[in-house]
Amino acid sequence: MADTMLTFKNDELHRPMTKEEIKAKAPYVFAENPTNPGVSDRYVMATTETIIDDMAKLGWDVVDCKQQRANKRSKVRSFHMLAFQNPKVFITKIANNGEETVDCFPRIILTNSHDGFHSFKFMIGLFRCVCSNGLVIATDTFADVSIRHINYTFDELREMVAKAISTVSDNISVMNEMQKTILNEEQKKALATEALKIRGGDDEDKPLKVADDDLEDILTPVRDDDKANDLWTVFNILQEKIIKGNFKMISNTNNKVRKARPITGLAKDLEINQALFRYASSMRAAA
């Protein structure tokens, strides 16, 4: 089984977004005034653009972004997310043929709003190069790290980034253990069932209906590189399918088989990613 390691050097897979590109995709990022007219006069607005500039000074550039979709129920909310990546920090693996290849990039995920509902919050993510697949991982060592808008300082941000990087080695250890954990068919189906529950919700009144064909559908790899039975690979297959949709599942309301839609809600995307990673990583000892 291939080893996974953290590498610090330049790589061609890193392309920062310009501010114009960010603004076109997530205009909330560049709000100059609070989007919520009901915030207190004492509300001090530290803009996300300031964080972008300060992160760039530390070598971390924006490579992806998204914002909460506007709707009638959240006219004042301006929740948005940025993914920062450093071209000198990435994770490689040594394949069975002895070649070193880039496996994924650690990312620092920032969520923020300019509406008084959220402080800056930072999470660790991984971008898997083989499938252009990003996920936000759940880790106790870097949980709920936030910076308040008031009295924001560059030194505080630098300390946060250093803490984020220090957790990457722990995450690599988890990845290695998941790569070495081989799942049998029953365990793969159990993980797939949990993935469907995490996506669709499950409660005592309306238990989720899962058919074997549904499990087979979301466990089928999209690409040849993912034809393996280790926990890390199976997890990545499921994570991609669950977020991107287009797989078959039974509706809880009318029992009809339908195609799942992609997850587009920002908060739901984060919730599913973290919950699925938490469950999958817990299977290391059980497998």
Q: Is the pLDDT of residue 46 over 70?
A: no
Q: Is residue 50 part of a domain?
A: yes
Q: Is the pLDDT of residue 28 over 70?
A: yes
Round to whole Å and give the CA distance between 131 and 141: 27
Q: Is the pLDDT of residue 66 over 90?
A: no
Count other Cβ atoms within 10 Å, centred on residue 208: 17
> Could you tell me the sign of the dihedral formed by the alpha carbons of 67, 72, 75, 77, in that order?
negative
Same domain, 159 and 246: no
Q: Is the pLDDT of residue 163 over 80?
A: no
Same domain, 116 and 166: yes
pLDDT-derived band at 262, boundaries 50, 70, 90: confident
Round to whole Å and give the CA distance between 199 and 202: 9
Q: Mean pLDDT across the stretch 154-177?
A: 78
Same domain, 152 and 63: yes
Q: Is residue 20 part of a domain?
A: yes
As a whole number, the mean pLDDT across the chain is 75
Domain membership of residue 108 as a residue range: 3-176
Per-position DSSP letters for 160-186, written without gaps between them = HHHHHHHHHHHHHHHHHHHHH-B--HH
Q: Mean pLDDT across the stretch 38-54?
A: 71
Q: Is the pLDDT of residue 143 over 50?
A: no
Same domain, 213 and 149: no
Q: Is the pLDDT of residue 138 over 80?
A: no
Same domain, 99 and 223: no
Instruction: Give the model's pLDDT for residue 215.
Output: 86
State pTM to two decimals.
0.69
Buried/exposed 263-272: b ≥16 CB within 10 Å, e otherwise: beebeebbeb
Q: What is residue 261's DSSP assignment?
A: P
- Give, in order, the Cα–Cα distances in Å from 191 to each of 1, 80, 115, 222: 21, 30, 38, 18
Q: Is residue 287 part of a domain?
A: no
Q: Is residue 250 part of a domain?
A: yes
Token readout for 181 is 């954990």
Same domain, 172 and 77: yes
User: For 198-238, what is each residue's pLDDT tens digit?
Assistant: 887 655 455 566 677 778 888 988 777 778 899 988 988 89
Question: Cα angle at 45 between 43 and 50, to 5 degrees?
Answer: 160
Count other Cβ atoms within 10 Å, centred on residue 202: 16
Q: Is residue 264 part of a domain?
A: yes
Same domain, 74 and 189: no
Round to whole Å and give the CA distance between 27 and 162: 28
Element containing residue 49 per DSSP (H, E)? helix 48-57
Round to whole Å and give the CA distance between 141 and 170: 9
Instruction: Give the model's pLDDT for residue 77.
Output: 66
Same domain, 93 and 206: no
Instruction: Give the model's pLDDT for residue 108.
Output: 86
Same domain, 172 and 199: no
Residue that finishes a domain, picked among 142, 176, 210: 176
Same domain, 152 and 197: no
Q: Is the pLDDT of residue 45 over 80?
A: no
Count other Cβ atoms within 10 Å, centred on residue 32: 8
Tell me, what amino acid is at 104?
A: C
3-state secondary structure of 102: strand
Round to whole Å and give the CA distance between 147 and 169: 23
Q: Which of 16-30, 117-131, 251-265 has the highest mean pLDDT?
A: 16-30
Q: Is the pLDDT of residue 73 over 60?
A: no
Q: Mean pLDDT across the stretch 38-60?
A: 76
Same domain, 130 and 209: no
> In terms of pLDDT, which residue wins out, 223 or 108?
108
Q: Which of 16-25, 100-109, 148-157 has the highest mean pLDDT?
A: 16-25
> In terms of pLDDT, which residue wins out, 155 or 32?
155
Instruction: Give the model's pLDDT for residue 8.
Output: 41
Same domain, 211 and 89: no
Helix 185-200, helix 266-281: angle, nearest 10: 150
Q: What's the domain count of the chain?
A: 2
Buried/exposed 52-68: b ≥16 CB within 10 Å, e otherwise: bebbeebebbbbbbbbb
3-state secondary structure of 273: helix
User: For 82-107, what is each residue's pLDDT tens digit?
Assistant: 989 888 887 777 766 777 777 778 88
Instruction: Give the model's pLDDT for residue 141.
Output: 40
Residue that finishes a domain, picked among 154, 176, 198: 176
CA-nearest of 22, 36, 17, 16 to 149 is 36
- Contact at 8 Å (CB) between 245 and 259? yes
Q: Is residue 121 part of a domain?
A: yes
Q: Is the pLDDT of residue 72 over 70?
A: no
Q: What is residue 23's DSSP assignment?
A: H
Q: Is residue 286 part of a domain?
A: no
Query: Which residue has tokens 């817990």?
Result: 282
Q: Is residue 48 part of a domain?
A: yes
Residue that finishes a domain, picked among 176, 196, 214: 176
